[in-house]
Amino acid sequence: MNLIKVGVIGIGNMGSSHVQILDKGQIEGAILTAICSSNENRIDWVKNHTSGDVQIFRDEETFLTESGIDAVVIATPHYSHPEIAINAFTKGIHVLIEKPAGVYTKNVLEMNEAAKASEKVFGIMYNQRANPLYQILRELIHSGKLGDIKRTNWIVTDTYRSQSYYDSSKWRATWKGEGGGVLLNQALHQLDIWQWATGLMPKRVNAVSSFGKYHDIEVEDEVTAYVEYENGATGVFITSTGEVPGTNRLEVVGDLGKIIVENEELTFYRLTQSEREFNRLYKDGFGRPEYKKIDIPVKSENANHVNIIQNWIDSIITGSPLLAPGEEGVKALEISNAIYLSSWLNQTVELPVDPDQYYEKLQEKISTSTFEKKHVTNNTLDVKGTH
Amino acid sequence: MNLIKVGVIGIGNMGSSHVQILDKGQIEGAILTAICSSNENRIDWVKNHTSGDVQIFRDEETFLTESGIDAVVIATPHYSHPEIAINAFTKGIHVLIEKPAGVYTKNVLEMNEAAKASEKVFGIMYNQRANPLYQILRELIHSGKLGDIKRTNWIVTDTYRSQSYYDSSKWRATWKGEGGGVLLNQALHQLDIWQWATGLMPKRVNAVSSFGKYHDIEVEDEVTAYVEYENGATGVFITSTGEVPGTNRLEVVGDLGKIIVENEELTFYRLTQSEREFNRLYKDGFGRPEYKKIDIPVKSENANHVNIIQNWIDSIITGSPLLAPGEEGVKALEISNAIYLSSWLNQTVELPVDPDQYYEKLQEKISTSTFEKKHVTNNTLDVKGTH
């Protein structure tokens, strides 16, 4: 069988990592045959760091038309993901996009339509979905073992960034260049897992975001969001790039107990009786249902980019299901768009937010921006140890 | 030296416990000489459960005037605390009130005035202030070891109550009888420790409370409150009586690290360098300040009622400082009043809330209440294991 010819467009922090994964032959059934970048330094880097016969393109259109690739990994800045993906689908190329799916839902929904029309395989780099920790969490919830969810709480502050990180590129942490901060960049994986593992999308969001609180940036570096779900459950999501050492602790409470995911471990406090039932039947005041503490042994794996790329290639070859279908990229984005909108309007917003309203508000942020980056170093950063 | 003659008024769950502590001679320098209750069953209980010569009163005025007590422990339903305390101060009697100080700040501030004018010793049963766990937390923060506070987060859901608890008294969990639910009754200690240990009172509160969500009651049994502090720090406080097994986890993040208090243990993640300084000086993108994890050995003690009563008696005898001065009872109440007001108005409120506005809103809740308790068992509950 022929190998799937893969191209990578965008050779920044993540793109460089994907180039190496593909070039080292870590993905069965695939071969890196082309890259596209407009940055000569990064092109030089590709030449020096790949062993195979990799064609170099400087222009997206030529890359997609003339490289002969079957599939493309899109790792360009956030805003361009939907446009490039739509272009690729039109040309019959399978697509794997880096997260976020885009910056606003308006063109992400258009991308989803284009993907559907093309019948090509469309994946998104939600690599945390390949983390066994969250797979087990999801299984416990979806199998009904936790019972109806009452409350969720995720503190994601192990996402520290110093000013020098933000200074590494001109586009970083600007409304125009990146379209958001910690929410869109560092904590988006968790926004996805939050809805994917629980199976619940928030219905209402009331959020406060602090813009440039801990850094000289114009986008948010601290967020607290309160959400309500259709079934009456409530939730809180907190993230920040200004804390050391951060916390990464997810708590999901259900009628049959509580699950804590923290320090890369999962603990299930499992009730021997439904709390709702106990509440009705118990007669003696201070009692509570009994429970067992179950430490579920699971090997957490954070950097599952390889798994996601392999899963996408497998799907192209055999039609097997995707762990992270590209169409689902819109979900975390709907949550993040709602959090931004609630923060900007200083009021509770319903989900999904109107794509046009969000788009206009974002354009307003861009057009009224007076922020200028003082020190831009133009460094490509080693993403080892980040997710 | 003569023993301080102590009376206890209100022989419900907590009053019964205090009667036994005093009667068993657990408090040095004090003797139980009188009680006051209007409930004949509870009077019988006192007769059967005290060994000393305890005078019985059925009427507050006679009790305070004729019993000859030097000091009174007030453990009546919440609403009556300020009125009885003011009466006692007027008669020159030292006062220890059960929490909460009252239900609304309006008359609690009047009580504080009366206490000041009387020059008597005024304490409040904030027994968690005697918990070594929170004393060490406070010391770490007040000594500056944690640096400027950035964020606080307290999940207090180990406060489960079944319907039968709420059914144990007619006044429980009604606006008229108790003036609030989980916030005023179960989580008030934590509201106090939250401000006492950090030294920070919220400036703004945006809260959502769910009323009768998990129980057939008219007051709140789940609360999520977002707060902002004067120094720019943010915080979240979550409590519920509908979850098993609950969580009791406090996280305080500062410029010099993070403190976690959970499972009756305190862990200090101490940075070797200020984060704010690191942020300014570091140049290499993904780095973060180094830290040491310090498990601080501390014996948590939850039920410190004896310590608080002893501390109050000592203060009466020797003038030593109080751990929980009664005047500080208003602080947690200011927070809880603000949380209620924010929840009712569905908007952010500034602290302190206007005492008159809060009082009027509460009267409205009482006068428009149509709630009727279906099953009242009139049980006095054993408070062992509760705080």
Residue-wise pLDDT tens digits, B275-330: 999 999 999 988 999 999 999 988 877 668 999 999 999 999 999 999 999 999 99
Q: From B169, which residue of chain A is nearest by alpha-carbon distance?
A: A285
- Would you place residue A385 in the very low, low, confident or very high pLDDT band (cuts 50, 70, 90)? very low
CA distance B88 to A122: 75
- Which of A227-241, A270-284, A362-376, B233-247 comes out lowest in average pLDDT? A362-376
Q: From B260, which residue of chain A is nearest by alpha-carbon distance?
A: A247
Domain of A165, CATH number, reads 3.30.360.10
Answer whether residue B385 shows pLDDT above 60.
no
Chain-chain contact of B275 with A379 (C-beta, under 8 angstroms): no
Shared domain check, A355 and A227: yes
CA distance A44 to A24: 18
CA distance A221 to A241: 5
Q: Which residues of A touch B381 (CB under 8 A)?
A: 285-286
Chain-chain contact of B164 with A282 (C-beta, under 8 angstroms): yes
Q: From A242, which residue of chain B is nearest by alpha-carbon distance?
A: B275
Asked, for residue A276, whether it belongs to a domain, the answer is yes
Q: Which residues of B touch A152 (CB under 8 A)?
A: none
Q: Which residues of A touch B228 (CB under 8 A)?
A: 208
Residue of B226, B240, B286 for testing the chain A interface, max A β-carbons within 10 Å: B286
Answer whether residue A148 shows pLDDT above 90.
yes
pLDDT at A64: 98
Chain-chain contact of B245 with A165 (C-beta, under 8 angstroms): no
Q: From B382, which residue of chain A is nearest by alpha-carbon distance?
A: A286
What does the pLDDT look like over B77-114, one tens digit per residue? 999 999 999 999 999 999 999 999 999 999 999 999 99
- Which of A73-82, A299-308, B107-116, B334-343 comes out lowest in average pLDDT? A299-308
CA distance A98 to B128: 49
Distance from CA of B365 to the nearest CA of A (A): 23
Q: Which residues of A touch B286 (CB under 8 A)?
A: 161, 165, 381-383, 385-386
Q: From B224, which residue of chain A is nearest by alpha-carbon distance?
A: A226
Residue of B146, B149, B162 for testing the chain A interface, max A β-carbons within 10 Å: B162
Q: What is the pTM of this model?
A: 0.95
pLDDT at A381: 67
What does the pLDDT look like over B231-282, one tens digit per residue? 999 999 999 999 999 999 999 999 999 999 999 899 999 999 999 999 999 9
Chain-chain contact of B257 with A244 (C-beta, under 8 angstroms): yes
Asked, for residue A372, whether it belongs to a domain, the answer is no
Residue B366 CA to its chain's centroid (Å)? 23
Asked, for residue B382, whether it belongs to a domain, the answer is no
Distance from CA of B43 to the nearest CA of A (A): 22
Residue of A286, A292, A346 for testing the chain B interface, max B β-carbons within 10 Å: A286
The token pair at B63 is 């009790």
Kind of pairing between the strands at A4-9 and A30-36: parallel
Chain-chain contact of A288 with B210 (C-beta, under 8 angstroms): no
What does the pLDDT look like over B162-212, one tens digit per residue? 999 999 888 899 999 999 999 999 999 999 999 999 999 999 999 999 999
Domain of B321, CATH number, reads 3.40.50.720
Distance from CA of A1 to the nearest CA of B (A): 41
- Report how many Cβ contacts below 8 Å link chain A to chain B: 149
Number of domains in chain A: 2
Q: Which residues of A touch B210 (CB under 8 A)?
A: 234
Shared domain check, B294 and B224: yes
CA distance A50 to A36: 14
Q: What is the average pLDDT across A173-194? A: 96
Asked, for residue A378, whether it belongs to a domain, the answer is no
Q: What is the average pLDDT across B350-368? A: 97
Q: Which residues of B touch A283 (CB under 8 A)?
A: 164, 377
Q: Which residues of B touch A289 (CB under 8 A)?
A: 244
Chain-chain contact of B275 with A206 (C-beta, under 8 angstroms): no
Asked, for residue B378, whether it belongs to a domain, the answer is no
Shared domain check, B175 and B27: no
Residue B337 in contact with residue B348, Cβ under 8 Å?
A: no
Asked, for residue B9, whether it belongs to a domain, the answer is yes
pLDDT at B175: 97
Shared domain check, A118 and A97: yes
Q: From B380, which residue of chain A is nearest by alpha-carbon distance?
A: A285
Chain-chain contact of B258 with A245 (C-beta, under 8 angstroms): yes
Chain-chain contact of A258 with B280 (C-beta, under 8 angstroms): no
Contacts of B191 (CB under 8 A, 6+ apart): B183, B237, B332, B335, B336
Answer whether residue A343 shows pLDDT above 70.
yes
Q: Which residues of A touch B283 (CB under 8 A)?
A: 164, 377
Q: Which residues of B touch A387 (CB under 8 A)?
A: none
CB atoms under 10 Å from CB of A22, counted, come to 25
Residue B186 CA to its chain's centroid (Å)? 8
Size of chain B in residues: 387
Asked, for residue B374, whether it belongs to a domain, the answer is no
- Of B44, B351, B13, B37, nearest to B200 by C-alpha is B351
Shared domain check, B172 and B311: no
Q: From A276, which residue of chain B is nearest by alpha-carbon distance?
A: B214
Burial of A91 (0-12, 13-18, 19+ CB in 10 A): middle
Sheet of B122-124: strands edge to edge? B55-57, B30-36, B4-9, B71-74, B94-97, B122-124
Shared domain check, A51 and A155: no
pLDDT at A302: 64
Answer whether residue A384 shows pLDDT above 60.
no
Max CA-CA distance within chain B?
76
Shared domain check, B137 and B76: no
Which letter does DSSP use for residue A325 in this model? B
Shared domain check, B274 and B320: no
Q: Which residues of B touch A282 (CB under 8 A)?
A: 162-164
What does the pLDDT look like over A13-72, one tens digit per residue? 899 999 999 999 999 999 999 999 999 999 999 999 999 799 999 999 999 999 999 999
Q: From B280, which residue of chain A is nearest by alpha-carbon distance?
A: A163
Q: Which residues of B touch A210 (CB under 8 A)?
A: 234
Residue of A243, A260, A348, A377 for testing the chain B interface, max B β-carbons within 10 Å: A243
Domain that holds residue B185: 129-300+332-367
Shared domain check, A121 and A179: no
Q: What is the average pLDDT across B131-137? A: 95
Distance from CA of B304 to the nearest CA of A (A): 19
Chain-chain contact of A238 with B243 (C-beta, under 8 angstroms): no
Asked, for residue B225, whether it belongs to a domain, the answer is yes
Amino acid sitting at position B317: I
CA distance B385 to B32: 24
Shared domain check, A135 and A84: no
What does the pLDDT look like over B28-68, one tens digit per residue? 999 999 999 999 999 999 999 998 799 999 999 999 999 99
Mean pLDDT of chain B: 95
Shared domain check, B168 and B117: no
Distance from CA of B257 to the nearest CA of A (A): 6
Nearest to A224 among B214, B226, B286 (CB): B226
Percent of chain B with pLDDT over 70: 97
The structure tokens 């989900």 sit at A351
Side-chain half-sphere of A12: how many Cα atoms within 13 Å?
14
The 3-state DSSP class for residue B226 equals strand
Shared domain check, A121 and A134: no
Mean pLDDT of chain A: 95
Distance from CA of B161 to the nearest CA of A (A): 6
Nearest to A285 among B168, B224, B278 (CB): B168
